[in-house]
Amino acid sequence: MIVYKNEACGHCNMYLSNLRVFLDGRGLEPYEEKQLINNPLTREEL
């Protein structure tokens, strides 16, 4: 699973923190977090 993160978003960190707890608590691992704004290769994926 890939989680795309907008590092410029102040609200996203709180949401992603809760999402990590949810995924880890249910054994839904591994997952990968990718930075969206400063990574042109990640933007190409989308």
Res. 10: pLDDT tops 90: no
Across the chain, which distance is largest between two alpha carbons, in Å?
32
pLDDT in tens, 24-37: 999 998 999 999 88
**DSSP string computed for 1-45:** -EEEE-TT-TTHHHHHHHHHHHHHHTT----EEEE-TT-HHHHHH
- What pLDDT is recorded for position 7? 85
Is-cis flag, bond preceding 30, omega within 30?
A: yes
What is the domain extent for residue 29?
A: 2-45
CA distance 46 to 38: 14
Tally of domains in the chain? 1
